[in-house]
Chains A and B, each alone.
Chain A
Amino acid sequence: MKILTLIRKRFLFLIPVLAIVGPGIISGSVDNDAGGITTYSVAGANFGHSLLWILFLTTFALAITQEIGARMGLVTGKGLASLIREKFGIRWTTFVMACLLVANLGTIAAEFAGIAASMEIYNISKFISVPIAIILIFALVAKGSFRKLEKLFLLLSFFYIAYIASAFIVHPNWTMAIKSLVIPQIKLSGVYILTMMAVIGTTITPWGQFFIQDYVVDKKLTKEDMNVERGDVFFGSFLTNFISFFIIVACAATIFTKGIQITTAKDAALALQPLAGNFAEILFSFGLLNASIFGAALVPVATSYVITEAFGIESGLNYSTRETPQFYGLFILLLIIGGLMVILPFFPLLTILVVSQAINAVLLVPIFVFLYLLSNDKKIMGEHTNNKAVNVIVLLTMAGLSVASLIYMVSLFLPNLI
């Protein structure tokens, strides 16, 4: 009898946990999208373990900023865009939305580049794969079947376990890898700095910041859920970077040690060879395609949602295309522009994938300023404003981001200085 009550006690707490777990973990998993896989692959393949310390630091920054977003959603019941609009007025809102639009267009282009790259492994041209993807995604979302498929995409993203397995099979130098997590190493080369920015920008993203808060609001969670939600967000942030760690280690062990520079997605697939052998390419392209399609649907939806929310236009997936033409219009426009950036043969796919992530990192700075101000506003947050430790981490993150962005800008425009 005693044992039974004990068990019941033990497991009762799981019921609310199961109902709420989601936003943080989903937001975390989606972070490992096309840009994510590629950036981590490039980081490991081209720079070995030397970027792991960045990954280590971003884990904390991600956890803290996502927690702030979730907490603001829980307390206010409003999205970040709403709060910015109501507190800072239309001009600042327009500025933030412009930043977000640029960052997200880059991300959308990256998702399409991921689709194109995964299909190029099978010699399918981007001129075919990208337009088909645009049509497919629009149909999925407009018909309302996207919500049902959301879970399938998430489930399929467990493909990342392949990296963990692959990493263990090749027996990398674990002590070295762990040490690299905490010992900073900096190489003053343009490519290194670009990759560093991309690692930051693919882990913490502007759209992810808006996404987590909107998701919490959409789920109608309240202050009572705060502790569970905090755990969910922390776990989600840890999980995404836990996987990123293994992608980098696997790529470092299989590609970096052989001295190969990766230039196409095909090269990146090498990291899975220890596990999948000849099927490595198929496994990799499948994982990349899944992540890319999921991202290519989710990011434009989230972008349209946030922008229409900020400017006060009826919107959301619960409305039909006729009820909110602006929402779906913006959505298809984003798909087409993102797709065109990939189809037009100006840049190699890999460049789009990595540079877009770096742009994300630069545009994080202004968004975090608003995040910081809003989450410390007593009128908005009441007793749930940030505590000192959180504020210190946010300020350090902003400072770190600013310095990194500055170095990145210098490396871009004045490459001779470095």
Chain B
Amino acid sequence: MVYLSQLLNKKVYYDRKVYGEMVDFAVLESSPKPLVSRVVVKKGNKKITISPSFLSIKRNGAILNSSQAPFFPFDERDFYLNEDLLDKQVIDINDKRLVRVNDVLLESNGELKVVGLDVGASGIFRRLGLEQLFKVKPKILPWQMIEAFDYQTGTVKISLTENSVKNMHPSEIAEILEDLGARERRGIVESLEAKHAAKAIEEADSRTQEAILEELPSSVLRNIVGKMHVADIAGLFYKMNPLRIREIIKMLGEERAKKVERLIDFGTDKAGGVMRTGFVSFDGNTTVKEAYNSLYKDRPKPEAVLVTNGNEKLVGTIYVKDILDIDSLALLKDIVSDRKFVYPNVDLNEVIKLFAQYNLRSLPVVDKEKKPIGVITTGVVLSKVQEKIRDNENTYIN
């Protein structure tokens, strides 16, 4: 991640000599994030544009890789980040003036892409060179929320509510929520349907989850936590304000509250702490056809089902895709796909290792009597892996 202000007016070097200065960036409208298509370099009094693929852009300057890079003349009709976007007014769909584009946040892994607009005080301090003096958390408005850009008046139109956010995938919304300030976040969460909001919150990182659950008014909160997985709520138990989490657990009703409490005992770095308590299980003597008919009504379809013997003890897991081409009269106990399981107190790292080693899609968690109590899915494992990577990065940076 890099800010526009950190790149503007930085030198471009070629062959260890100063070649020019980066003064602007033209972008192409591409979904979901606009891509920087040209870098405007001021060379003497002339402005030329270079494709970013010939430049390696760093925070303290850029290096021109090739003398063969094709140059294009500066075209005023293009859309430029510095000239057309920076410092402009942001208004909402009702033309109410909101904030200004204080800086532009770019993603730079190979390509430069616009991620969002910095509309907070942090952007101002950064551009004044006072960021060390006043440490303020940046307030980012994600590009996905920008509805239109008015080339005539140079104003940016955003929609904080309505249309766009509602139609997004929960994981996209989660990404937006992670970037936003408290006020915008609340606005978005409250504008969504409870189920959609719950999904989006579950997809967000735990810091964001915690902040959202902390700041929502209880009427909205009740509906949302009602739709959330108990495992996710349990996962937040030790991170949140204890008074608030008690309040939330109360909202869940007796049965679900008990489930949460049971999960909390395991801790979030144990198999029992990350498992989902909702799963589908069949007796081993069920035929494929019967299972098929029963699953027919289920929505959403589980990826895997558990098979138990007469004493409700685990036999193994069957992936639903595996029963598609099997004789419909076969018994489930004969066609189990995988027999692995873990106990709830198994360390999370072990679980991840199992998933990687045996290419698992789903792993049952059983109690002492080998009765299944939950299931760990690949989704959960991946998000835990991602969290670990992020933690590592953070420790590395710090």
Contacts and interface: CB of A to CB of B under 8 A. Distances in A.
Given A77-B153, A90-B124, A314 B99 contact: yes
Interface string A294-323: 000000000000000101111110000000
Contacts of A86: 87-89, 154
Contact of B99 (A85, A89, A91, A312): A312
Nearest to B102: A312
Nearest to B88: A86
A82 B99 contact: no
A94 interface: yes
Nearest to A309: B97
Contacts of A76: 153
Contacts of A85: 87, 100
Interface residues of A, number: 17
Interface string A151-190: 0000000000000000000000000000000000000000
Contact of B102 (A90, A315, A316): A90
B127 interface: yes
Contacts of A89: 86-87, 127
B90 interface: yes
Which interface residue of A82, A312, A315 has the most chain B CB atoms within 10 A? A312
Given A85-B100, A311-B100, A312-B119, A90 B90 contact: no
Contacts of B397: none
B98 interface: yes
Nearest to B101: A312
Interface in B83-139: 86-90, 96-102, 119, 121, 124, 127-128
Which interface residue of B98, B100, B121, B153 has the most chain A CB atoms within 10 A? B100
Given A86-B88, A86-B154, A313 B124 contact: no
Contacts of B86: 89
Contact of A91 (B96, B97, B127): B127
Given A89-B87, A91-B128, A313 B102 contact: no
Interface string B329-368: 0000000000000000000000000000000000000000
Given A82-B89, A85-B87, A312-B119, A90 B127 contact: yes
B127 A312 contact: no
B188 to A, nearest CB: 17
B126 to A, nearest CB: 9
Majority-rule SS of A interface residues: helix
Contacts of A311: 100, 121, 124
Contacts of B97: 309, 314-316
B128 A312 contact: no
Interface string B51-89: 000000000000000000000000000000000001111
A312 B154 contact: no
B81 to A, nearest CB: 13
Which interface residue of A86, A314, A316 has the most chain B CB atoms within 10 A? A86
Interface in B249-273: none
A91 B126 CA distance: 11
Nearest to A87: B87
B128 A90 contact: yes
A312 B100 contact: yes
Contacts of B98: 314
A78 to B, nearest CB: 8
A313 B99 contact: yes
A315 B124 CA distance: 17
Contacts of B96: 314
B125 to A, nearest CB: 10
Interface string A194-206: 0000000000000
Interface string B12-52: 00000000000000000000000000000000000000000
A90 B131 CA distance: 14
B128 A94 contact: yes
Contacts of A309: 97
Contacts of B88: 86
A89 B223 CA distance: 45
A312 B89 contact: yes
A313 B97 CA distance: 9
B252 to A, nearest CB: 32
Nearest to A311: B124
Interface in A337-361: none
A313 B124 CA distance: 12
A265 B90 CA distance: 47
A312 B101 CA distance: 8
B218 to A, nearest CB: 19
A78 B88 CA distance: 11
A82 B101 CA distance: 12
A144 B229 CA distance: 47
Contacts of B99: 312-314
Which interface residue of A76, A91, A309, A311 has the most chain B CB atoms within 10 A? A311
A316 B119 CA distance: 18
A215 B229 CA distance: 54
A316 B99 CA distance: 12
B107 to A, nearest CB: 23
Interface in A42-93: 76-78, 82, 85-86, 89-91
B90 A312 contact: yes
A135 B241 CA distance: 39
A82 B128 CA distance: 18
Contacts of A78: 89, 153
B180 to A, nearest CB: 16
Contacts of A313: 99
Interface string B149-163: 000011000000000
Nearest to B100: A312
A335 B376 CA distance: 61
A76 B154 CA distance: 11
A77 B90 CA distance: 14
Nearest to B153: A77
Contacts of B153: 76-78
A315 to B, nearest CB: 8
Contacts of A91: 127-128
Interface in B184-242: none
A338 B71 CA distance: 57
Interface in A79-122: 82, 85-86, 89-91, 94
Which interface residue of B87, B90, B101 has the most chain A CB atoms within 10 A? B87
B6 to A, nearest CB: 14
A90 to B, nearest CB: 5
8 contacts: A78-B153, A82-B89, A86-B89, A90-B124, A94-B128, A311-B121, A312-B102, A314-B99
Question: Ordered nearest first, which 7 A-B pairs have the shortest CB separation?
Answer: A312-B100, A312-B99, A90-B127, A86-B87, A85-B87, A314-B98, A90-B124
Given A76-B153, A312-B102, A313-B99, 16 more contacts: A77-B153, A78-B89, A78-B153, A82-B89, A85-B100, A86-B88, A86-B154, A91-B128, A94-B128, A311-B100, A311-B121, A311-B124, A312-B90, A312-B119, A314-B97, A314-B98
